[in-house]
Amino acid sequence: MVGERLSRGRFDLRLLFALLLMLTTTATAVAERRVALVIADDDYRLVRPLANPVNDGEAMEASLKKLGFEVVLETNRDLRRMRRALDVFREDAKGADVALVYFSGHGVEISGDNRLLPIDADASSLETLEKTSLPLRDAVAATAKVGLIVLDACRSDPFSGNSGEGRGATPLAKDIAEKVKPGFGRIGRAENILFAFSAAPGETAADGAGQNSPFTTALTKYLGTDGLEIRSVLTLVQQEVYDLSRGKQLPYVESGLPKLFFAAAAKEQLPERERLLLAMADVTPEMRGEVEQIASDADMPLAPLYGALIGSDTSNLSADSLNARLREAADAFVKVRSEMKTLAADDPQVTELRRQAEEQLSLGAFDAAQAKLAEAANIDGVSRNALKVNFVDRTLSQAATVFLSAGAARADLNYAAAINGYEFVLALYGEAGQTSLSLEQADRQSRTLEELGILYTTVGNIEAAGRAFAALLANLEQRSRQETDPSVKRDLAISHISSSPT
């Protein structure tokens, strides 16, 4: 939820009232007691050790302390010490407003019973594994008004002997393998308790290539998001992990909370990326599957496609037309991403802004990407007018940046912005002069005319499309007389075929 900000003005009765309200709110927040137990196990004795759980636990400890939690961190505990830590925590949590238990390490489902594995867990037999693991129900702190159970445990067959993305361990005996499943089974709602798992029941969760798992990385990133109710925070976490894993991992949340609980007190406008993640949660499973398939075919991130889907009016499109529109967006994204990665600029600041734009575009933050490109174009625009000696170079650099901006708009299915951008590119090339263009720049000019022709056709402006294709034909004919590159003659032949009446 996006809240309201206190307005600043003269010191009058309204300001006095606002100050009193702020003091009252602060006093209430201070009075609320939040406690957390963080358990992180990675130094396993009888199963394969893990890489990141202790790092995850330390990151969670730091994040929770910032939110006013009293945090107890327990690392590499055997079953006896894990039980004792939970018993002490339950006693300390009596009467607390919020009690949170976080576990990072191995976890399995045994005959429908979800269990956490301490560092002395023994999988030599089913009976031994049951005796040396902790039932998840024992970790639930029911003595507080609100309970939060957050589990970043294994999903990728924790007893396989192979190394991989998941948190693996040693192989199970064949006679018990069928009864022990990687990951956790589904949890039913429990009154006043929210469960958050790093992946859906039975699905795979990654350990992470860096210092932390993807789930804990997203959790610590968003846990303190100002003004968001905890379930919305976890929606951000879900969709972030889902997006960055390209659909391979989707955290699971089951909430039995009867009231709203805020992770932080202030309320601010959410950034574009966060708004997109929240909107992604409402996309139907069928449409998710379609987006994932198109993104996989194009070898691209999910977020830009979701951004194009959510930001466009697709309500009147048939299923086939919508699929074609999304594939068009994917194709445009791949093209502009390639340009952004390879197109260099003489000005290092312009190059850096283009890099930042590519980063934002991959996150589906089209407005943020456009803002970076506009800043880069403005640098060249100011410089070319101030320093006439660099006029042509700066004009061509600005044209390249605007070309990228138009491509980003095309990937967002924002046809009007794309058309305006490509028209501006042509105007800049006109100012620079045809003789100033390198082969690469001349190719970009030709592609700009082609894109305009396609876009004008798409929006139904046949007259403008005809002008663009005619200009493309003339451009390629002129280049074929001046250049020896065989690709120019090939493009000219294709252009003749495309512009011929059918």
Check whether 407 has a pLDDT greater than 90.
yes
| Tens-digit pLDDT profile for residues 76-129 | 999 999 999 999 998 888 889 989 999 999 888 888 888 899 999 988 888 898
Q: Token pair of 214, please?
A: 């993807």
Strands (E), 14-120: 34-40, 69-75, 98-105, 107-110, 113-116
**By the 8 A CB rule, do 229 and 1 touch?**
yes
Round the average pLDDT of the chain to a whole number and report it: 82
CA distances from 138 to 71, 86, 170 (A): 19, 8, 25
CB atoms within 10 A of CB 164: 12
Check whether 165 has a pLDDT greater than 50.
no
Cα–Cα dist 115/109, whole Å: 6
Q: Which residue in the block uniquely carries the two structure tokens 């980063």?
A: 359
**By the 8 A CB rule, do 155 and 199 touch?**
yes
**By the 8 A CB rule, do 462 and 456 touch?**
yes
481 vs 31: which has the higher pLDDT: 481
Say which residues have a Cβ less than 8 Å from residue 308's Cβ, sequence separation at least 6.
Answer: 325, 326, 329, 411, 412, 413
Average pLDDT over residues 37-50: 88
At 155, the pLDDT band (50, 70, 90 cuts) reads: very low
Check whether 373 has a pLDDT greater than 60.
yes
At 438, the pLDDT band (50, 70, 90 cuts) reads: confident
| Tens-digit pLDDT profile for residues 416-426 | 999 999 999 99
| Tens-digit pLDDT profile for residues 226-239 | 777 888 889 999 99
Cα–Cα dist 318/322, whole Å: 6
Check whether 184 has a pLDDT greater than 70.
yes
Predicted model pTM: 0.80
Q: Strand, helix or coil at 323?
A: helix
CA triplet 275, 327, 423: central angle to 5 degrees? Answer: 80
